[in-house]
Amino acid sequence: MRKIILFVLLKILKYIKSLSVKYHKKHAYKEGEGSRTLTYWRNVHRDFFISEYASINQTFDEDQIMVCEEFECLFTK
């Protein structure tokens, strides 16, 4: 079996601290997932966070503070 090693070098451009319910359309678009809409982003991430929080016996609350980051990919291998 062949091992695959992936190396990625990222440059963090900025951090965005916001309530998840106030997540910005622009950032959702930049993330590039699905239809690139805020509605799509919220639905997919809500489902993910609900599942992750449940795995540690916690409840996800959309009024929690979320920290997102914008980054630039400098190198991949």
- For the stretch 20-43, pLDDT in tens is 656 678 888 888 889 999 889 888
9-25 per-position pLDDT tens digit: 999 999 888 876 566 78
pLDDT at res. 20: 65
- Distance between CA atoms of 26 and 41, rounded to whole angstroms? 11
Q: How far apart are the first and last CA of the chain?
A: 19
Contact predicate 14/70, CB 8 Å: yes
Determine the pLDDT at residue 13. Answer: 94
Q: Is 71:30 a contact under the CB 8 Å cutoff?
A: no
